[in-house]
Each structure stands twice: as structure tokens, then as C-alpha cells.
Amino acid sequence: MTPHLAAPPAPTTRNRGFWPMRDIPTPVWLLLTVVVALAHRTLPVPSWLMIHLLLLGAVTHAILVWSQYFSFALLRSRATDADRRTQSIRLILSNAGAAAVIVGVVASVWAVTVIGAAALVTAVAWHGVSLVRRVRGSMRGRFGHTIWYYVASAGLLALGAGLGAWLARGDGSANLVLAHALLNVLGWIGITVAGTVVTLWPTILRTRAAETAAPHAARALPALAAGVVVAAAGAVFAQLLVIALGLAAYLVGLVIIGVTLFRAARQKAPRSFAALSVGMALLWWAGSVVTIAVGAVAVFLAGTGFEALAGLVDQTVPYLAAGFAAQVLIGALSYLIPVVLGGGPGPVRAGTTAFDVAGPLRVTVANAALAVCALPVSSLIRVVASILYLIATASFLVVMWRAMRAQRRAKAEAPRPGAVARDGAERRRGPIPPEGEQPRGRRAGQAVAGLLVVMLTTAGAAAADPIGLGWGAAPTGAADAPMQTVQVEAADMRFTPDRIEVPTGTRLVIEVTNTDDEQVHDLVFANGITGERLAPGESDTIDVGVITADLEGWCSIVGHKQMGMTLQIVATGASSDTADPDAAEPDADAHGDHAAQAMPGMDAEPGADFTPFGAELEPLPESDGPRTHEVTLTVTDEEREVAPGITQTLWTYNGSAPGPVLHGRVGDEFVITLENDGSMGHSIDFHAGSLAPDEPMRTIAPGESLTYTFTATRAGIWMYHCSTMPMTAHIANGMYGAVVIEPDDMAPVDRSYVLVQGEYYLGDHDGGEVDVDKIAARDPDLVTFNGYANQYDHAPLPAEVGERVRVWVLDAGLERPSSFHVIGGQFDTVWAEGAYLLDHSPDTGSQALGLQPAQGGFVELSFPEPGTYPFVSHYMIDAERGAHGLFDVTG
């Protein structure tokens, strides 16, 4: 046996710049993965997004950083300034490419996906070429040939990324998806890990590498690389036996390497967090490959078709990502970061000790929870277990931050190079000194505690949902959780059937097929179960889980749910007030009770206390010079009906939303007294005045007041609003209004109206306040003129044939532009944001006044004959949300 491998060298001129700053994106990608995983529990976030954030983002970046790092160490070469510059460019290119791929797929913009994939492939190919040149120009150490693992994996990623870009175009056939997964997960990530653990595993264990490790590694690479290529080719041509043969070759390669890894572990058992995490990752890796290989053979013998294997792979890939990729990444970083930060034995020991805090507990919770997820349990138990896994894994980010801080502190306190340390030892470089290992009993206690946490939490979830585990007598007698399979078609913005009755306690499997001619669809459920996006002709099998209560499903493609693409699962035998324990809310995507009422309620009659907002703008008195307008605006909290049968607690100026319309001429002075009788701080910002905002626009507490004075120097319809943060919430909850400033030469009209377009993001119950999460999602429940949905359908604005009518329009936002249009009318005058587009034109006209948020203008028209003339925002979804009214024109 040879002496054990030394730790990779500290960051001197040989490798300075490859860590730590260049690996900052890895924890950032990990944090994004955690955030999306948490959102996945309550929102219809597709599982592929989490997998790609982890694998394409965090793992790919780490591979590009650390494989370069190891290549310098194993080939005994130095990093030049040119190496560092090109490495930085590659990392920028790869991260930008990964981000573009994810954004392009989410937004369904294939061009962005292709550009991102091209950038990523370019960065990785460049990375591979640099490794080849370094191998040829360096003296190889004993394990120098393992660099070819990195070269081979780079070539496989180029194939996998190219295939992924093609899939994003819409050809999502199951065989190509499988080939894509094999090339990227088993090829790019798997072969890279295989080449790395040959040297890193014994180093983490602080033991000797076996004499046979190097020759075994040389023999394993052809088996691994050929296995991936053969299996991927079999997937492309849908040949099950070829897939099985390729995976068998891959397993042979894993066994060859595994023998040397096992021998190292026999010499010194894994004890640190890094060793335990990497060790468990290797087990999940091998187990997942065995599962897919055996599944390919079983599917072939059973003759159930390629789709059955694709379904098995879909179920296995998350465990490859969470069990293998995530754990090997955080385990390796837990060892490497202290080594490369360096500083001598003391600081390195401080860092490794901090990384090892609660190591057995974290590893046990993560892996036990992941094992529970793999079992045939109810969806509630699976959700609880996945949250435990997420907590245990995400804790690495906190531990990493604390460990790096502890090591930097220790470095600052350590003696300078050449000085004598406190313990009399001179600072030196070399292998990591053994950290202060926890006593065996403490490690075992943490492992037992981790198991107990998972067991007790799982038991609690089972007690909350006993039928989900098949315990107790379900109303239908389904104690053994029988399975019900239903075929569903998606087409013409409908699911057929759109209602499925399932006996309580039955596991529901839905086979959904997109039979539409052009549209892409998917199917997601309020309990967090999500299907894949399906191009026309594609199918997906979705295991919804054990049904214990009513459950809602919908298509998550933007706008499809609002157009009626929903699916209702009805649990027969369940009480009517039972809610699905796995769903965050029965209508998590529809924004609570209000969303369910908002659209159907449009045709209902307003409540008995309904009084329409006065839209008519009275003419100004004849001008005899500038006037002073003294106005008091009092802020109050008011529960108001905002659509028939729907109320919201609004924050208002003078009791209404919008606030009162202020009206004057250029040169007039406005003296505004703002009194806050509300329940929180508020403010006001008048766009009609030009002045420093520091004092007049400041936030005042309840019970306080201020005076805001401005002179109207320019004509227009100007917005005013509360500017207290979060400004979006204050505006959306009613704190906005209009100021109309007329020039002296304004032509007279017979009638003048003011319409202010606004939006409501309704709270989660009747009478609730604004929902800031909906604001962030940019999805208003209602879009209104003057604060009430369709109010001028119930109280039409009067006019007479031949009268000249001026309509001032202000778009108060937050998000929605407006395209004001009168159905059956034509505008001969259009004035927008200070300029005439048409001015009493005799032979040309306009059909709409287009405004962005905080913009305003007016139109003028005459009605040719009696009748009812609707007016709308021609962003028609907003007209359907309430931006609709009527002119009642009489003869």
C-alpha cells in the first residue's frame, strides 16, 4: 500500500483563483434550488425545474471549478494568469448558458433555450480541450490518467445538452428524454464523480489508496463511457435490451471502482460528515442504476412497452438528483473548502470541525427521509418526508457559512508564516490534520436521533392521514389502497372528463393525453403533484396518490386555468367539509375564495348599499386667474364591495377607492391636508406637482397629518397615490386617484367623464386585505374602472345622440396596461400624455387609447344613434375581469 494521498494543495500561485471566489455560484444555485423546492410544496412548480437548477446549475458549475483544480494537482502543473482568465470566461459562459436554458424552457422560448445550450456546450467543450492540452503538456502523477474521466464526461454533456435543446423545441418523446437523462446524469455527472472519488474518497477518509486503485480506474473508464453511450443509443431507438446492456456495462465500471473504494472504507470507516455524505451518495447512485437496468429487463420480458420504462426513469431521476448528486456535492465541498481556504493545521481543523457539526444527524435525516419518499406511502407522508430531506440538505448552506467564518477567524489568530504557533509547531502545508472527531457514542446518538425524527414525523403524518397508508376502514372498504386508473384528454381548453369520482382511500393514477392540435398542456394538482408539459399527441402518467378528500387539478400554462381548464377529483364517501391535507389551499393557484367567486360573480347584482363612483367631471367655472384648491384627504380603512358579493378591506382616501378626483387649471395651487386615521403609516405622492419629495411625500403614522402644497404647471390627467412601502400593496389596496388639469384653451364639450383603471389582488377571505403574494405573481383578480368591477354595467353613464363626450382615462396600474375602447364608437380626438394624436379630425379616427401604468389621456366622440355602447379595456382578459361598462345613449 502506498502512503495515503495528500490533500489538494493550498491556493498558492499554483491554483490561486480557482477557489473560493470562483465557486460562489454553487451555493447560489443550491439556494435557488431550495427556494424552488419550497415553492413546489404550494405552487405548481414542475419537478424538472428543481432538478435542472441542481444539476445544470450547482453541480455543473462545481464540476467546472473542481475538475480544473484537481487537474493541476494530479498533473503537478501550475495555473497561469491565462489559465485563470480563461477559467473565468468559461464559468461566466456556463452559468449564463444554464440560466438561459432554464429561462427559455420556463418561458417556452426555444431561441433562448438554444442560445443557452450553445453557450453551455461551448464552455464545457472548451473545458475539455483545456484538460487535454494540460494532460499532454504535463508529467502525470500516479492518478494523472483520471483526468480523462473529465474529458469523457465533457463530451457526453455536449451530446446531452444538444439533445435537451432539441427536446425544448417540443419533441418531448419519452425515448429522447431518457437518452438526455442518461447522457447528462450518468455521463456528465456520474463519470466525473467516478474519476474524482478514486482519489478523493481515501483522502476524505484519511487512509491509504489501494495499490490497485490506479489500474482499476484505468479499466473502469471505458466500461462507464461505453455503457452510457450504448444505453443512450438504445433509448434513442427505443431498444430496451440495448439500454439494459449499456447499463450493465456501466455497472461493471462502478463495481471495478467500488472495489477500491470499499477497501479504503475497510481501513478506516467513514465518520466525518463529508465521508458519510459522499458514501451515501455512492449507494444511491449504484442503487438507482441497478433499478433502471433491472426495470429495462423486466419491461422487455413483460412486453409492457417503452413508456413503462420511461415512467420508471421519471420516478428514479429525482433520487439520482437528491440522493446522489446533491449529497456528493455537499459532501465533497465540506471536505474541500477548508483544505483550499488553508491557513495551516489549526485553521483547517477549525473549518473541518465546523463542517462536521451534527454530521451524522444531518446525513441520517436526509437519507431516511429520502427512503420514505421512495416507499408507496400517501402523498401527505411523502410531502412531510421531502420537507425533512430539504431541511437536512439545505442546512449545509448555513453550516458552510459558519465554517468559513470560523476558519477565517482562526487564520486571523494564527501566527504568521515562519512563526511558531501556540502549540510550538511551525505552520506547514500538507494533508489536513485529523479533526477533533466526536466520540463514537455521540455519533451513534446523533444517527439514532435522526432516525427517530424521521420515524416520529412520519408516524404523525400517518396518524393525520391513516387511510393514505391503508390503515383503518375507509368508507369504501379500501383498506389495502386499491388503484383506480383514469384516461383524461386535454384539448380545447378542457379536460375530458373534468370530474372524476374516486372512492376515499383509493390511489388514483391519471393517464393524460394532449389531443389538442396546437396547444401545449399539463396537469398539476393542489397537493403538489405535477405532470410534465405535453406537446400535441404526447401522454403522461401521473400518480396523484391516495385520495382522502376532494382535490383540484388544472393546467398551469398561463391563462389556461382561467379559461376553464380544470379537473375536479371528488372523494366519494368523504364529508363535504373535508379538505385535502396535502393541498396548501383548495384553490392555491386560484387565490382563495375570492378567486373562485370573482369571475362568476360578474353577472350578479351589486349589494343593496351599492353606489356607483361618480364618473362625471363637472365643468370648471370660468377662469379669472389661478385659484387655490384646499382639500383634506383623510385616510381610513373601509370594507367595501369591489364586485357583486365580494368585499375587500381597503385603505382609502376619503372613504373611496379610487380617491376623489381633483380638478383645476394650469397655474392653480393645491393645498392638500393629509390626515391619517388608518391603522398603519401612509403617505401621498401627486404626479401633478413638481417638487422635492423628501417632506411632503413622507410617511405619517396613524393620528398624524401633513400639508402638501403644489402648483399645477402642466396640463394632463395625473395620478396620485400612497408611496409608503410596499408601495405595490398600498396602491393595489385602493390608495390612488386622479388629478385633472385643463389648459385655459380647452375646448368645451357637452359631457365629461373620468375613468381610473385599477386592479385588485383579493385577500384569502371575504373582507380581507390585499394579497401581496398575488402582486408578486402579477395576477390580479379584478381589473376595474373607478374601483368596482363592471359597475357601469349596473349604472350606465348617460349621453345623448349628437352630444360631444370627453372621456378622461388614467391607468393607475399596478401591472396592467389599458387600451380604452368604446364598442360602436370612433374617436375624432385623442390626447395621450401631453400630446394630441388626433385633434377634431374630420376624416380620420382612432379606435383605442393605449396607456401604460401611470399614464393618462382623453378621447372625444359623438354617438350617432340611440343604444347601449359598451366601453372596455381592449386587453380583453381585463374586460372579463371587470374593466367593462356601458354608455346609455338616448335620442
What is the predicted pLDDT for the residue at 478? 37
Is residue 436 predicted with pLDDT exceeding 50? Answer: no
CB atoms within 10 A of CB 393: 25
- Between 768 and 869, residue with greater pLDDT: 869
* Of 338-347, 420-429, 803-812, 882-891, the least confident: 420-429
Q: What gap in Å lies between CA 106 and CA 120, rounded to an integer?
A: 17
Which three cell numbers mark 502? 374516486
Sheet containing 628-643: which strands, arranged edge to edge? 646-653, 628-643, 669-676, 705-711
Mean pLDDT, range 355-382, rounded to an integer: 87
- What integer pLDDT is reported at residue 585 of this predicted model? 41
Q: Is the pLDDT confidence value at 600 over 50?
A: no
Q: What are the pLDDT digits (tens) for 130-153?
A: 999 888 877 666 788 889 999 999
The whole-number average pLDDT for the span 154-163 is: 91
How far is the C-alpha of 539 from the C-alpha of 533, rounded, in Å? 9
875 pLDDT more than 80: yes
Average pLDDT, the chain: 84
Cell digits of residue 766:
371575504
888 against 527, higher pLDDT? 888
Which pLDDT does position 684 carry in this prediction? 96
pLDDT of 752 > 60? The answer is: yes
Strand order through the sheet with 499-503? 499-503, 566-572, 551-554, 524-525
What pLDDT band is residue 109 in, cutting at 50, 70 and 90? confident
Higher pLDDT, 597 or 255: 255
Reference 220, options 244, 245, 198, 188; nearest CA is 198
3-state DSSP assignment of residue 59:
helix
DSSP per-residue string spanning 134-193: HHHTS---TTGGGHHHHHHHHHHHHHHHHHHHHHHTT---HHHHHHHHIIIIIIIIIIHH
C-alpha 306/C-alpha 235 separation (Å) is: 9
How long, in residues, is the chain? 891
Of 2-11, 170-179, 623-632, 843-852, the least confident: 2-11
Q: What is the pLDDT of residue 597?
A: 36
Q: Are 587 and 561 in contact (CB under 8 A)?
A: no
* pLDDT tier at 466, thresholds 50, 70, 90: low
Q: Given a cut of 50, is residue 580 above it in pLDDT? A: no
Q: Is the pLDDT at 764 greater than 80, yes or no?
A: no
Instruction: Annotate 494-521 with DSSP letters as a single string.
Output: EEESSEEEEETTEEEEEEEEE--SS--B
Span 443-458, mean pLDDT? 89
Average pLDDT over residues 422-435: 44
What's residue 586's pLDDT? 37
Tens digits of residue pLDDT in 486-514 = 999 988 778 999 999 999 888 898 989 88
Better pLDDT: 738 or 296: 738
Kindly state the average pLDDT of the residues 672-676. 94
- Give the pLDDT confidence of 37-74 residue by residue, as tens digits: 777 655 555 677 888 888 999 999 999 998 888 888 88
- Mean pLDDT value of segment 477-490: 74
Would the pTM count as exceeding 0.75? no
What was the pLDDT predicted at 418? Answer: 52
pLDDT band (50, 70, 90) for residue 365: very high
Mean pLDDT of the 341-356 span: 87
Strand order in the sheet with 855-862: 782-785, 751-760, 804-811, 855-862, 829-832, 835-838
**What is the torsional sign of CA 160, 165, 166, 172?**
positive
Question: How high is the pLDDT of residue 596?
Answer: 35
Model confidence pLDDT, tens digit, residues 185-219: 999 999 999 999 998 999 999 888 888 888 999 99
Q: Which residue has the higher pLDDT, 75 or 585?
A: 75
**Residue 426 scores a pLDDT above 50:** no
Q: How confident is the model at residue 299 (pLDDT cuts 50, 70, 90)?
A: confident
Confidence of residue 15 (pLDDT cuts 50, 70, 90): very low
32 and 102 Cβ atoms separated by less than 8 Å: no
pLDDT, tens digit, 9 for 90 and up, residues 680-732 = 788 999 999 999 998 899 988 888 899 999 999 999 999 999 998 889 989 99
pLDDT surpassing 50 at residue 558: no
Choose the most confident range, by mean pLDDT, from 286-300, 544-558, 759-773, 800-814: 800-814
| pLDDT at position 404 over 80 | yes
